[in-house]
């Protein structure tokens, strides 16, 4: 056990960034340019707190932490409750270290990148919240906790992508990301709940060891599809890939963070995490292989089409995500190992290259590759970072990217025809990535110096330190490959391959090493990759032009489909609203009551048939007289022409009913009914005078027939429903329960009231909130009409009256 690591401190890891986010705007105000330095301490300390777990996790230990959230009930089918619980093993630790480590650099970097931006404090808040969500996601044990953090990443990334919210493109990209990833998240929630139900546990650490149960259940395929929907939308797999390149609208540090360790890797994390549960089946291999392969190929091609540095990088991220999904889908020990190594390699070089692109943009004013060149003298340190990262991206020794590529080829060369196809796709993808890496490292820095919008020079420390550190790491990990393999890669791969037993995890052996062996056929696969890459690089201009023409000829993309879908949705809701919300109150009421008539009558007739009215109840003469009063009141409502008489008659009828309640032993109900009837008469009368309605109800005969018919059908339906209920024996279980427990545990004799304020207190709480809100809404409506609005019932009359009185002031009144 690690000292000082209790449940609360572990919960602080994802929560601390949120707390820091609350303070960030103030920190920015008081610390000015040093805010970036100060706030970077938050992820740095999280990183430091997690470092202590490296040693035990490398030994195969796993850690569980939990705080109570919603405890389980005895009658729940799932024994564990929904807890705020966390689970730390090789996989989540690797992710958490990447997130907090790269996060430190990102926060630091954005201090310089967004220097002087009026909303910088807000930006710090957003990025810290995003980091917290990501940390929570990878550390969560409970699937509901995981889902909450998952959706939090969608929401915070929405804020980040739309940070520059005055631009329409940024807003659109933000909404697109939110709709795609948030929608996928909802599908995933359904999948996770199904999975937890089948496995009988809300905690991932428990579900992991019940993979066989899940796979044998009939719900396996729905679970798989739903979970994959979440993972694929988040990790931007084809055909949900389009939001990712658009998300480039975000400030560059956000892109660097989103693309390297966070957000898009969340889907990969989920797939890796659930491999012991869902993986290993033919469906898993095929679906992941096909989608991953397609995404890899598509992303790599798209990367070549663009000239914008960020767009190129964004599309290679697609390719990398596809590669990761493909490798996880492969599911072999070597394949998973390759996925882990590549994940780490990609995080380093992608973050570094994005930061380089940001620095170039910041210092030169452009990030169009065709406008940049010859910056080696002006920005040497940035170039060093770019070159180191690009070496890793291109998969050249000794970088960790090379090891990852060798591992991939090893994983893909021991199988059948399917793997051969995958191997070819991966080789092509890697070659295309070498091209992009080369472009990133060579084009902006080599060749003759090109004029740029700004005079280029090296940026401040914060702008070049990040890429330098990350680039150096990408190389350094290659030199200590054995150590990294045993400490990080093998435990993470084990967590993907095996379920934990108790507090330990069976470790796979790490065979990761930096070896360049010309006798090994795998090495020659690498050489083929490099050769293809160089060949492609030399023909880059022609390929780019060709791909552009192709894209222009294609006409539509997933992006346009998304737009059409969104506009269709808006149009549909517009039409639905216009259809129902036409502004004629009497038709609203008519629709409501017709629906009531259908809802009451149709099921009654279909299921039970009309109930028989068995016996005339034996009432005393005074009871009959009360009934007679009610009938008389009703008749007066129907036949009275003056509205005021009708309103008062309605009150009489209501009072008679209240009397009946009283006579038959429901004093509470009767009491309430009396008050409600009184108030309805008062308020209806007030409304009538207030709205300046005609004193008499002048309806056409057709309207009378229509309204009367609906009223009759509703009344008959309700009556037969009540008779039908009375024909059944009364179920006394609840009555008995309340009878027994009301005094004993709730200390009250008035069961009705005790139910309202104690047994069902939460319901009542909701209801009174609604009452208050409705009161405010009614008040607002009344005030709108009297506040000088020129529309609405009676307003015209008022206007006419005033106009007649003061014809000279007509114009002033209308204004």
Partner 1 sequence: MNTVIFRTIAPGLSALMIVFSVFVLLRGHNEPGGGFIGGLMAASAIAIYGIAAGVKEVRRAMVVHPVTLAGFGVVLAGCSGLLSLGYGVPFLRALWSYIPIGDTVVALSTPMMFDTGVYFVVLGAISAVALALEDEEDDD
126 close to 110: Cβ distance less than 8 angstroms: no
Identity of the residue, 183 or 748, whose beta carbon is nearer to partner 1 in the bound complex: 748
Identity of the residue, 609 or 775, whose beta carbon is nearer to partner 1 in the bound complex: 775
Cβ burial 469-497 (10 Å sphere, 16+ → b, else e) = bbbbbbbbbbeebeebbebbbbbbbbbbb
Cβ burial 33-46 (10 Å sphere, 16+ → b, else e) = eebbebbbebbbeb
What gap in Å lies between CA 27 and CA 23, rounded to an integer? 6
* Least distance from partner 1 to the Cβ atom of residue 753, Å: 4
Q: How many CA atoms lie less than 13 Å away from 73 in the CB half-sphere? A: 2
Which residue stretch of 354-362, 594-602, 701-709, 778-786 sits at the interface with partner 1 (rule: CB under 8 A)? 778-786
* Least distance from partner 1 to the Cβ atom of residue 83, Å: 15
354 close to 313: Cβ distance less than 8 angstroms: yes
What gap in Å lies between CA 179 and CA 182, rounded to an integer? 5
Identity of the residue, 413 or 764, whose beta carbon is nearer to partner 1 in the bound complex: 764
Q: Does residue 696 sit in helix, strand or coil?
A: strand
Identity of the residue, 175 or 756, whose beta carbon is nearer to partner 1 in the bound complex: 756
663 close to 630: Cβ distance less than 8 angstroms: no
Footprint of partner 1 on 377-406 (CB under 8 A)? none
484 close to 398: Cβ distance less than 8 angstroms: no
Near partner 1 by CB under 8 A: residue from 771, 789, 793, 814: 771
* Least distance from partner 1 to the Cβ atom of residue 725, Å: 24
Footprint of partner 1 on 717-746 (CB under 8 A)? 746
* Least distance from partner 1 to the Cβ atom of residue 298, Å: 50
What gap in Å lies between CA 472 and CA 600, rounded to an integer? 73
284 close to 255: Cβ distance less than 8 angstroms: no
* Least distance from partner 1 to the Cβ atom of residue 772, Å: 4
Pattern 693-722, partner 1, x by CB under 8 A: ------------------------------
Near partner 1 by CB under 8 A: residue from 33, 752, 795, 803: 752
Q: Counting contacts by CB under 8 A, is residue 754 touching partner 1?
A: yes
State the alpha helices, DSSP H only, in 52-167.
54-58, 90-113, 120-139, 143-161
Cβ burial 49-68 (10 Å sphere, 16+ → b, else e) = bbeebbebbbebbbbbbbee
Near partner 1 by CB under 8 A: residue from 45, 217, 332, 764: 764
E-assigned strands of 357-507?
none
Neighbour tally for 754: CB within 10 Å:
20
Near partner 1 by CB under 8 A: residue from 573, 741, 786, 809: 786
DSSP tag of 235:
T
Q: How many CA atoms lie less than 13 Å away from 756 in the CB half-sphere? A: 9
Measure CA 97 to chain center.
23
Q: Counting contacts by CB under 8 A, is residue 783 touching partner 1?
A: yes
Pattern 275-304, partner 1, x by CB under 8 A: ------------------------------
Identity of the residue, 564 or 781, whose beta carbon is nearer to partner 1 in the bound complex: 781
Neighbour tally for 584: CB within 10 Å:
9
What gap in Å lies between CA 429 and CA 15, rounded to an integer? 38
Q: Counting contacts by CB under 8 A, is residue 765 touching partner 1?
A: yes
Q: Does residue 368 sit in helix, strand or coil?
A: strand
Identity of the residue, 332 or 672, whose beta carbon is nearer to partner 1 in the bound complex: 672
Footprint of partner 1 on 631-690 (CB under 8 A)? 667-668, 671-672, 675-676, 678-679, 682-683, 686-687, 690
Near partner 1 by CB under 8 A: residue from 550, 778, 793, 814: 778
* Least distance from partner 1 to the Cβ atom of residue 750, Å: 5
Q: Which of 530, 490, 522 is nearest to 409 (CA)?
A: 522
Q: Which two tokens stand for residue 672?
A: 């309430």
What gap in Å lies between CA 36 and CA 27, rounded to an integer? 9
Which residue stretch of 299-307, 354-362, 463-471, 762-770 sits at the interface with partner 1 (rule: CB under 8 A)? 762-770
Q: How many residues bind partner 1 (CB under 8 A)?
A: 41
Q: Which two tokens stand for residue 12?
A: 């602080």
Identity of the residue, 221 or 781, whose beta carbon is nearer to partner 1 in the bound complex: 781
Q: Which of 459, 491, 58, 111 is nearest to 272 (CA)?
A: 491
Identity of the residue, 407 or 677, whose beta carbon is nearer to partner 1 in the bound complex: 677
Q: Which two tokens stand for residue 164?
A: 């520059």
Near partner 1 by CB under 8 A: residue from 19, 768, 789, 793: 768
Q: Counting contacts by CB under 8 A, is residue 798 touching partner 1?
A: no
* Least distance from partner 1 to the Cβ atom of residue 400, Å: 50
Whole-number CA gyration radius for the chain: 35
* Least distance from partner 1 to the Cβ atom of residue 791, Å: 17
Identity of the residue, 280 or 792, whose beta carbon is nearer to partner 1 in the bound complex: 792
246 close to 306: Cβ distance less than 8 angstroms: no
Q: Counting contacts by CB under 8 A, is residue 45 touching partner 1?
A: no
Identity of the residue, 611 or 748, whose beta carbon is nearer to partner 1 in the bound complex: 748
* DSSP structure string for 317-338: HHHHHHHHHHHHHH--HHHHHH
Identity of the residue, 420 or 679, whose beta carbon is nearer to partner 1 in the bound complex: 679
Identity of the residue, 461 or 686, whose beta carbon is nearer to partner 1 in the bound complex: 686
* Least distance from partner 1 to the Cβ atom of residue 674, Å: 9
* Least distance from partner 1 to the Cβ atom of residue 387, Å: 58
Identity of the residue, 623 or 758, whose beta carbon is nearer to partner 1 in the bound complex: 758
What gap in Å lies between CA 520 and CA 513, rounded to an integer? 14
Taking the CA atoms of residue 549, residue 550, residue 552 and residue 556 in that order, the dihedral angle to the nearest 10 degrees is 180
Identity of the residue, 412 or 754, whose beta carbon is nearer to partner 1 in the bound complex: 754
Identity of the residue, 594 or 751, whose beta carbon is nearer to partner 1 in the bound complex: 751
Q: Give whole-number Cα distances, 536 to 300, 301, 428, in Å.
A: 12, 11, 10
Identity of the residue, 719 or 783, whose beta carbon is nearer to partner 1 in the bound complex: 783
Near partner 1 by CB under 8 A: residue from 749, 805, 808, 815: 749
Q: Counting contacts by CB under 8 A, is residue 762 touching partner 1?
A: yes
DSSP tag of 441:
H
* Least distance from partner 1 to the Cβ atom of residue 774, Å: 7
Identity of the residue, 557 or 672, whose beta carbon is nearer to partner 1 in the bound complex: 672
* Least distance from partner 1 to the Cβ atom of residue 658, Å: 12
Q: Counting contacts by CB under 8 A, is residue 213 touching partner 1?
A: no
* Least distance from partner 1 to the Cβ atom of residue 636, Å: 19
SS (H, E, C) 237-287: CCCCCCHHHHHHHCCHHHHHHHHHCCCHHHHHHHHHHHHHHHCCCHHHHHH
Beta bridge partners of 170: none
Near partner 1 by CB under 8 A: residue from 22, 421, 424, 776: 776
Which residue stretch of 21-29, 500-508, 555-563, 761-769 sits at the interface with partner 1 (rule: CB under 8 A)? 761-769
Q: Counting contacts by CB under 8 A, is residue 748 touching partner 1?
A: yes
Identity of the residue, 550 or 686, whose beta carbon is nearer to partner 1 in the bound complex: 686
Which residue stretch of 217-225, 328-336, 562-570, 769-777 sits at the interface with partner 1 (rule: CB under 8 A)? 769-777
* Least distance from partner 1 to the Cβ atom of residue 809, Å: 18
Q: Which residues contact 742 (CB under 8 A, 6 or more apart)?
A: 748, 749, 751, 754
Which helix (DSSP H) or strand (DSSP E) does residue 604 occupy?
none
Residues found near partner 1 in the complex (CB under 8 A): 667-668, 671-672, 675-676, 678-679, 682-683, 686-687, 690, 746-750, 752-754, 756-758, 761-762, 764-765, 768-769, 771-772, 774-776, 778-779, 782-783, 786-787
């Amino acid at each position: 056990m690690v000292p000082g690591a209790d449940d609360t401190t572990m919960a602080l890891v994802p929560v601390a960034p949120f707390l820091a986010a609350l303070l960030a705007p103030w920190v920015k105000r008081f610390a000015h340019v040093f805010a970036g330095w100060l706030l970077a301490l938050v992820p740095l300390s999280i990183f430091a707190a997690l470092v202590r777990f490296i040693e035990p996790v490398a030994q195969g230990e796993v850690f569980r932490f939990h705080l109570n959230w919603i405890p389980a009930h005895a009658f729940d089918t799932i024994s564990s409750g929904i807890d705020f619980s966390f689970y730390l093993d090789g996989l989540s630790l690797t992710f958490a270290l990447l997130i907090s480590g790269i996060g430190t650099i990102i926060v630091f970097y954005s201090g310089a990148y967004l220097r002087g931006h009026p909303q910088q404090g807000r930006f710090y808040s957003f990025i810290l919240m995003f980091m917290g969500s990501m940390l929570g996601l990878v550390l969560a044990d409970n699937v509901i906790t995981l889902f909450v953090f998952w959706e939090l990443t969608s929401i915070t990334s929405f804020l980040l992508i739309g940070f520059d919210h005055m631009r329409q493109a940024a807003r659109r990209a933000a909404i697109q990301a939110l709709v795609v990833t948030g929608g996928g998240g909802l599908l995933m929630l359904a999948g996770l709940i199904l999975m937890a139900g089948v496995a009988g546990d809300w905690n991932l650490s428990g579900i992991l060891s019940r993979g066989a149960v899940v796979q044998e259940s009939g719900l396996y395929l729905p679970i798989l599809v739903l979970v994959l929907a979440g993972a694929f939308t988040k990790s931007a797999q084809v055909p949900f890939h389009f939001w990712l390149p658009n998300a480039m609208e975000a400030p560059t540090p956000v892109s660097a963070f989103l693309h390297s360790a966070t957000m898009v890797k969340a889907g990969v994390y989920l797939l890796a995490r659930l491999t012991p549960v869902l993986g290993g089946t033919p469906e898993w291999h095929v679906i992941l292989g096909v989608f991953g392969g397609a995404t890899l190929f598509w992303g790599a091609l798209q990367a070549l089409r663009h000239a914008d540095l960020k767009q190129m990088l964004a599309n290679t991220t697609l390719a990398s995500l596809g590669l990761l999904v493909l490798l996880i889908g492969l599911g072999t020990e070597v394949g998973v190992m390759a996925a882990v190594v590549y994940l780490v390699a990609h995080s380093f070089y992608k973050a570094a290259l994005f930061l380089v692109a940001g620095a170039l943009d910041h210092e030169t004013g452009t990030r169009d590759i065709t406008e940049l060149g010859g910056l080696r003298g002006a920005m040497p340190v940035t170039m060093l970072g770019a070159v180191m990262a690009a070496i890793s991206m291109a998969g050249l020794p000794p970088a960790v990217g090379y090891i990852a590529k060798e591992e991939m080829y090893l994983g893909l060369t021991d199988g059948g025809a399917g793997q051969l196809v995958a191997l070819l796709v991966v080789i092509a993808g890697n070659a295309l990535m070498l091209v992009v890496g080369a472009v990133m490292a060579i084009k902006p820095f080599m060749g003759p110096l090109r004029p740029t919008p700004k005079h280029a020079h090296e940026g401040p420390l914060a702008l070049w330190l990040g890429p330098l550190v990350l680039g150096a790491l990408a190389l350094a990990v290659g030199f200590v490959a054995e150590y990294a393999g045993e400490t990080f890669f093998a435990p993470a791969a084990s967590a993907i391959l095996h379920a934990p037993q108790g507090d330990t995890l069976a470790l796979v052996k790490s065979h990761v090493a930096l070896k360049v062996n010309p006798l090994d056929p795998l090495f020659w696969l690498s050489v083929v990759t490099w050769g293809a890459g160089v060949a492609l690089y030399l023909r880059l201009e022609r390929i780019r032009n060709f791909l552009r023409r192709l894209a222009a000829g294609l006409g539509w993309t997933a992006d346009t489909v998304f737009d059409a879908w969104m506009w269709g949705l808006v149009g549909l809701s517009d039409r639905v609203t216009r259809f129902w919300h036409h502004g004629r109150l009497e038709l609203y009421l008519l629709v409501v009551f017709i629906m009531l008539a259908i809802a009451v009558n149709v099921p009654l007739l279909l299921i039970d048939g009309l109930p028989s009215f068995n016996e005339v109840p034996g009432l005393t003469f005074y009871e009959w007289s009360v009934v007679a009063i009610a009938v008389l009141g009703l008749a007066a409502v129907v036949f009275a022409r003056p509205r005021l008489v009708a309103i008062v008659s309605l009150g009489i009828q209501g009072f008679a009913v209240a009397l009946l309640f009283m006579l038959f032993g429901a004093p509470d109900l009767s009491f309430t009914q009396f008050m409600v009837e009184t108030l309805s008469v008062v308020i209806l009368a007030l409304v009538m005078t207030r709205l300046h309605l005609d004193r008499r109800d002048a309806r056409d005969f057709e309207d009378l027939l229509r309204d009367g018919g609906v009223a009759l059908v509703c009344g008959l339906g309700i009556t037969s429903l009540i008779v039908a209920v009375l024909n059944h024996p009364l179920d006394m279980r609840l009555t008995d329960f309340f009878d027994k427990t009301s005094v004993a545990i709730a200390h009250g004799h008035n069961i009705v009231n005790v139910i309202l304020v104690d047994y069902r207190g939460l319901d009542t709480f909701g209801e009174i909130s609604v009452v208050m809100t409705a009161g405010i809404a009614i008040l607002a409506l009344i005030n709108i009409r009297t506040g000088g609005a020129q529309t609405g019932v009676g307003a015209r009359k008022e206007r006419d009256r005033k106009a007649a009185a003061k014809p000279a002031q007509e114009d002033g009144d209308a204004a």
